[in-house]
Chains A and B, each alone.
Chain A
Amino acid sequence: GESVGLHLPTLSVQEGDNSIINCAYSNSASDYFIWYKQESGKGPQFIIDIRSNMDKRQGQRVTVLLNKTVKHLSLQIAATQPGDSAVYFCAENPKGNFGNEKLTFGTGTRLTIIP
């Protein structure tokens, strides 16, 4: 089975509110994680990544938090906008950038922003 999974398959958030999307991973050797956004009918787009030597990384309106103790990853989106409606995937590299040639993707969470 997949080592990366999501707690909630769907999430609805009021426009302007903050959203949090969660991801659990089971491989303690994973040291590189990525969040992707996929809009309907399009390919996934890179949002933000984080390495295991960090526990937090911020981008524009997005923050990724990594808790290695409980093997949990989250994506926080601040001040959500209608354009944030999409499916969000987390992905992990079980051995880091150098050592494993594949990423493992979670099944995704559908985020819907309510106007």
Chain B
Amino acid sequence: GAGVSQSPRYKVAKRGQDVALRCDPISGHVSLFWYQQALGQGPEFLTYFQNEAQLDKSGLPSDRFFAERPEGSVSTLKIQRTQQEDSAVYLCASSSYAGGPGLEQFFGPGTRLTVL
């Protein structure tokens, strides 16, 4: 079956541009996560959705970052007025169960964002 897909795989933006990153989770998965992975670092949590509800956005670094999942499936992470420090790989993960500390998460290949 299809795994988690993300698009675009690569995005180059000029500083100050807005970008939108898409995540298609595994069909039927309830939970959806976004992580940010800077070069040479481990992924860091950004936000969590349970169906269409955004239950945790504690990891979003600034109010320039916004995520949505309006119908409880596809999710979009939007970054406004991009800055060079936003350059990273953005990973999406989904899980078939609702939130809890032991969730097995299935990761997409990520979107590599480069801000010039």
Do A and B bind?
Answer: no
Partner-A contacts on B (CB < 8 A): none
Partner-B contacts on A (CB < 8 A): none
